[in-house]
A and B are shown apart, each in its own frame.
Chain A
Amino acid sequence: MMLGKTAGGLFWMFRYIERAENTARLLEAGWRIALTRSDGESNEWQSVVNTAGIDAAYSAKFDSFDSGSVINFLLRDRDNPSSVLSSIEAARSNARMVRTALSSEVWEAVNECWMEVKSALARPVSERTLHELLAAIRYRTSVVRGALHGTMLRNDIFAFSRLGTFLERADNTARILDVKYYVLLPSAAFVGSRIDNVQWEVILRSVSAERSYRWLNGGETTPMGIAEFLILDKRMPRSLAFCYSKIGENLNWLANDYGTRHESHTLADRICGQLNGTTVNTIFEEGLHEFLTASINDTSTLASLIQTDFRFYQ
């Protein structure tokens, strides 16, 4: 037996942990690209802001996309509800709310994560300390995940935690692809052109997949290859297919345990079915952007169905 509020708290706690981690990855990618380019760096930082989906909040505060503003806005600005600091604070606040559902290891991991991130982000961050800081954020969030895997019962607590993680991750991967989809389209692909290679690298790095992609594809980077890898490859833990197979798995676990299937199950089955039954060629033929937009909408619909089906709020 679990309170609806607790299910909601777990779901959001792990969404926020995942979000903090994704933002850190995105910043790392942007920073690397900016470092390796001699011209037009501001363009890259703008694209980082786009990818994070916070254009409006950013434009309300800044006129230009200089590295200092973008880095600090993404890391520590309280006006940015998705900043790493805001996300970690929200994660920890949800963890406090669901304290009784967490093992002490998980609680301590998230509490320590919050203490360290809060103190590291108490002052503006310079590019010089950025790399170390991002590594610390990734490390701290990994400890939370590790504690979850190592110490928690595999029951509904675990299922709601995982649902939060994978819904956030699916949303993040689809957004990264969608912001950059134009560089993956055949018409825009001047194969071998330096600019596109850089953009592809941003995509792969944003999901920490540059090395695994090369391992699997023998060094040949093509737009279709990247799209296939991030959308359909189930070996890739941040691909849409992987995320949705996990979402389906956890929802099915709940259906078996509770003995009830809800609307969210139907939708998740449909999405899994689509991902299993399509090819990257079909996706490109029918329109990559359309596919990604539909996926982002589906993910958001699924999240709100889960919220209603399992009585998070009422």
Chain B
Amino acid sequence: MADTGSTFDEMLARSDQPRPPYESYFQWFANEDLKDLRRKSREAEAFFRRIGITFNVYGQDEADERLIPFDIVPRIISAREWATLERGIEQRVRAINAFLHDIYHRQEILRAGRIPKEIISKNTAFLPEMIGVNPPGGVYTHIVGTDLVRTGENEFFVLEDNARTPSGVSYMLENRETMLQMFPELFSQLKVRPVSAYPQLLRRSLADCAPEGLTDRPTVAVLTPGIHNSAYFEHAFLADQMGAELVESHDLVVENGRVAMRTTQGYHPIDVLYRRVDDDYLDPLTFNPDSLLGVPGIMDVYRAGNITIANAPGTGIADDKALYSYMPDIVEFYTGERAILQNVPTWRCSEADSLAYVLDHLSDLVVKEVHGSGGYGMLVGPAASKKEIAAFEKKLRARPSNYIAQPTLALSTVPILSKAGLAPRHVDLRPFVLVSPNKVEITPGGLTRVALKKGSLVVNSSQGGGTKDTWVLGD
């Protein structure tokens, strides 16, 4: 479908010989019995179901818990490759935090004319309520999940910055757990860097961002929309692994200038709230008045500096697709360095010249809604029918500023285990980044999402994508 014929395969590149990071694995695989491996693959599914790693699908009552398919062939990244990614991600995340601080304070970047004012002022992801607010520790994006894609040996691109509430880290952890149980011998052969410390690091990182002047160990809670949310498993998993309380909005009140949770012994104040609800649903008094999910008054407590909200409200402006094309400028403006990781070339349909180009090349491009997510509302030109393109063109002409367009990248492939053996499938990568006042920590690995359908470029779990364990090799 969308294959251009010049796809980079991370295991085999363009030859029969594995690339260096995959050498040991490839050798091991050659000696394995395919039947055994397929049996292991089925065992993995039973294991996921038993421990309840499921995601909910909205509007499907009976079968409302599904598994994300898991592929047992790991994605392997060399130490050298990882070192570059790590530097690039850290640079980008530091720039994003500096940008957020600036945009909610003096707005130097607008004064300098590096990005247009309207892109901020007319953006719903920009929260005027955050102007002048100083988040505890100066951190805006405590947790970031940078989406990366690869097109060649040294070609990595940032696809999205996911600076709001990135999800998927529970899969990173459980995928590894599953692989350790199924293939212990591989881990003794290869030096795979561990990821299991993530929950402890997350807890420490959040605690380091607690409001100043606390005498006790900070109380950390995870705010979930509830058991019907698609990522509920992850919310419960993280709370459990961190030893934090898992709360819903009806467990919380604002009392004596603090946010407090209802316990069996009365109300107990919370210092750090890792919220997994959107800005809109955070405080019905400040944002969406119809929200039943929020905590009335929490924004007042926040502005008074008495609670840390992770990620800070209003961080969405940094991963807005309209702003994405300015990221290289943003990185340069705040770090004084050139961006280490490339941006995907992007046409802003709000600009007349770009729009004209995009309209002429719809069948070659990927067109995305500025505020869309989860792979919905986008056009993958090369895979679309004439009818779909015509329908999309209408929408695009009606509201050009609502769209950006990018070339269809030849995403790299990593093999999956298919009935016939190894078969290449397109992948992306989401490493998880923790930011505290003094540190940016990136867990070596991340979530590799894989499009299980042959030729497909859409890796989203809501649209038939699966996951793989991601191995970063030690030196």
User: B50 contacts A1, CB within 8 Å?
Assistant: no
Stretch at the interface among B72-80, B260-268, B350-358: B260-268
- Nearest B residue to A4 by beta-carbon distance? B262
Q: A93-B227, A96-B227, A99-B236 are in contact. Are A5 and B248 (CB under 8 A)?
A: yes
Q: A3-B262, A311-B263, A311-B264 are in contact. Are A96 and B51 (CB under 8 A)?
A: no
Those of B145-170 within 8 Å (CB) of chain A = none
Q: How far is the CB of B238 from chain A (nearest CB, A)?
A: 9
The residue that A7 contacts in the complex, of B51, B264, B268, with Cβ under 8 A, is B264
Residues of B close to A111: CB separation below 8 A = 50-52
A156 at the B interface (CB under 8 A): yes
B90 at the A interface (CB under 8 A): no
Stretch at the interface among B239-247, B295-303, B361-369, B419-427: B239-247
User: A156 contacts B236, CB within 8 Å?
Assistant: no
User: A97 contacts B227, CB within 8 Å?
Assistant: yes
Task: State in angstroms the CA–CA spacing of A311 and B253 once bound together.
Answer: 14
User: B52 contacts A311, CB within 8 Å?
Assistant: no
User: A96 contacts B239, CB within 8 Å?
Assistant: no
Those of A1-32 within 8 Å (CB) of chain B = 1-5, 7
Task: State in angstroms the CA–CA spacing of A283 and B239 once bound together.
Answer: 51
Q: How far is the CB of B22 from chain A (nearest CB, A)?
A: 33
Q: A3-B263, A156-B264, A311-B263 are in contact. Are A104 and B51 (CB under 8 A)?
A: yes
Interface string of B399-440 (1 = CB under 8 A from A): 000000000000000000000000000000000000000000
User: A4 contacts B263, CB within 8 Å?
Assistant: yes
Interface centre among B232, B236, B247 (most CB of A within 10 A): B236
- Nearest A residue to B261 by beta-carbon distance? A3
Q: A107-B52, A112-B50 are in contact. Are A100 and B239 (CB under 8 A)?
A: yes
Interface string of A296-314 (1 = CB under 8 A from B): 0000000000000011001
User: A2 contacts B263, CB within 8 Å?
Assistant: yes
Q: A96-B227, A112-B50, A311-B263 are in contact. Are A1 and B236 (CB under 8 A)?
A: no
B397 at the A interface (CB under 8 A): no
Interface centre among A3, A4, A107, A115 (most CB of B within 10 A): A3
User: B246 contacts A99, CB within 8 Å?
Assistant: yes
The residue that A258 contacts in the complex, of B49, B232, B262, B264, with Cβ under 8 A, is B264
Task: State in angstroms the CA–CA spacing of A107 and B50 once bound together.
Answer: 9
Task: State in angstroms the CA–CA spacing of A78 and B268 once bound together.
Answer: 39
Interface centre among A258, A311, A314 (most CB of B within 10 A): A311
Interface string of B338-353 (1 = CB under 8 A from A): 0000000000000000
Task: State in angstroms the CA–CA spacing of A311 and B264 once bound together.
Answer: 6
- Nearest A residue to B245 by beta-carbon distance? A3
Task: State in angstroms the CA–CA spacing of A16 and B261 once bound together.
Answer: 26
Residues of B close to A3: CB separation below 8 A = 245-247, 251, 261-264
Residues of A close to B250: CB separation below 8 A = 5
- Nearest B residue to A114 by beta-carbon distance? B52
Residues of A close to B239: CB separation below 8 A = 100
Interface of B (DSSP majority class):
mixed
User: A100 contacts B265, CB within 8 Å?
Assistant: no
User: B236 contacts A5, CB within 8 Å?
Assistant: no
User: B264 contacts A108, CB within 8 Å?
Assistant: no
Q: How far is the CB of A164 from chain B (nearest CB, A)?
A: 14
A38 at the B interface (CB under 8 A): no
- Nearest A residue to B252 by beta-carbon distance? A3
How many chain A residues touch B (Cβ–Cβ < 8 Å)? 25
Q: How far is the CB of A211 from chain B (nearest CB, A)?
A: 34
A278 at the B interface (CB under 8 A): no
Residues of B close to A100: CB separation below 8 A = 236, 239-240, 245-246
Interface centre among B52, B248, B251, B264 (most CB of A within 10 A): B264
Residues of B close to A260: CB separation below 8 A = 265
User: B245 contacts A311, CB within 8 Å?
Assistant: no
Task: State in angstroms the CA–CA spacing of A254 and B240 once bound together.
Answer: 23
User: B264 contacts A310, CB within 8 Å?
Assistant: yes
Q: How far is the CB of A9 from chain B (nearest CB, A)?
A: 10
Interface string of A190-230 (1 = CB under 8 A from B): 00000000000000000000000000000000000000000
- Nearest A residue to B250 by beta-carbon distance? A5
The residue that A5 contacts in the complex, of B49, B50, B51, B262, with Cβ under 8 A, is B262
Q: A99-B246, A100-B236, A108-B51 are in contact. Are A1 and B263 (CB under 8 A)?
A: yes
Residues of A close to B237: CB separation below 8 A = 99
Residues of B close to A156: CB separation below 8 A = 264
- Nearest B residue to A159 by beta-carbon distance? B264
User: A96 contacts B236, CB within 8 Å?
Assistant: yes
Residues of A close to B268: CB separation below 8 A = 1
Residues of A close to B261: CB separation below 8 A = 3
Residues of B close to A108: CB separation below 8 A = 50-52
Task: State in angstroms the CA–CA spacing of A115 and B264 once bound together.
Answer: 31
Task: State in angstroms the CA–CA spacing of A93 and B50 once bound together.
Answer: 15
Task: State in angstroms the CA–CA spacing of A2 and B263 once bound together.
Answer: 5
User: A96 contacts B251, CB within 8 Å?
Assistant: no
- Nearest B residue to A160 by beta-carbon distance? B264
User: B236 contacts A314, CB within 8 Å?
Assistant: no
Q: How far is the CB of A84 from chain B (nearest CB, A)?
A: 18
Q: How far is the CB of A97 from chain B (nearest CB, A)?
A: 6
- Nearest B residue to A314 by beta-carbon distance? B262
Task: State in angstroms the CA–CA spacing of A258 and B268 once bound together.
Answer: 14
Residues of B close to A107: CB separation below 8 A = 51-52
Residues of A close to B240: CB separation below 8 A = 99-100
Those of B239-288 within 8 Å (CB) of chain A = 239-240, 245-248, 250-251, 261-266, 268
Q: List 30 A-B contacts (CB under 8 A).
A: A1-B263, A2-B264, A3-B246, A3-B261, A3-B263, A3-B264, A4-B262, A4-B264, A5-B247, A5-B248, A5-B250, A93-B227, A96-B227, A96-B236, A99-B237, A100-B239, A100-B240, A107-B52, A108-B50, A108-B51, A111-B50, A111-B51, A111-B52, A156-B264, A254-B264, A258-B264, A258-B265, A260-B265, A311-B266, A314-B262
Q: Which residues of B are in contact with A by a Cβ distance under 8 Å?
A: 49-52, 227, 232, 236-237, 239-240, 245-248, 250-251, 261-266, 268
The 3 closest A-B pairs by CB, nearest first: A99-B236, A100-B240, A310-B264
Q: Which residues of A are in contact with B by a Cβ distance under 8 Å?
A: 1-5, 7, 93, 96-97, 99-100, 104, 107-108, 111-112, 115, 156, 160, 254, 258, 260, 310-311, 314
